[in-house]
Amino acid sequence: MRTPMIAGNWKLHNTLAESVSLVTELKPAVAANQSVEIVVAPVYTALHQVAEALSGSNIKLAAQNCYPEPQGAFTGEVSPQLLLDVGCRYVIIGHSERRQLIGESDELINRKARALAEAGLGTILCVGETLEEREEDQMLDVLRRQVRCGLKNLTAAQMAGLVIAYEPVWAIGTGKTASDQQAQEAHAFIRALLTEYYDQQVAGVTRILYGGSVKPNNVDGLMSQPDVDGALVGGASLKAEDFARIVNFRAIG
């Protein structure tokens, strides 16, 4: 049985005061939900204050990125060890915005995955195709490459701390959402890859989240799919009422 995860990626939003206000409003709205793992990922500068605000709650803290070295002459970077020190339980890596805007390679993303596993932090590894890749029937090839490269040299034991987030790039911030069936198709393919690269046990316990314009009005259908184990939420996670409704989803069927 895979525990659903609903993770909110705040991206480059919210001051310190706004961040604390958001989680303060969110906490009572989701406090009764013990069946979903709830995660929020603020900007770096708000991590410490949000960690304090979340103390004693059922909401876990994540960072939006990391650098794959514990320390050194890496100006402007933040290590897994520092994120663990501030109270993070998870780190998001491989987000399409990092791949496209910053130019992060599959190799760098894999280095991050291995560094996070070695540091004892949970990983949310993002994969997904662009609209052009989907229209050119390259979706499965893209997913195979990103999953294979992202998980390179990770052991089955290390996979216990890793979550995969499928985010069709064409559905991020556009208002478009993959249909329930499209999401299920991609998630089932990713799970089949995990069986191929590891075994059925690893594939059966690894959670695969959907991340592409998840909103209160579409989460129920998405969560009714057998291989959709949760959501990586962008814009809707910036409103406590909307994010709470997603956390408290009611799967159809």
Residues annotated as part of the active site: 95, 167
156 and 198 in contact (C-beta within 8 Å)? yes
Q: How far apart are CA 212 and CA 228, in angstroms?
A: 13
Q: How far apart are CA 146 and CA 59, in angstroms?
A: 29
3-state secondary structure of 57: coil
Torsion of CA 155, 4, 125, 69, to 10 degrees: -70
Residues 6+ apart with CB under 8 A from 45: 16
DSSP 189-225: HHHHHHHHHS-HHHHHH--EEE-SS--TTTHHHHHTS
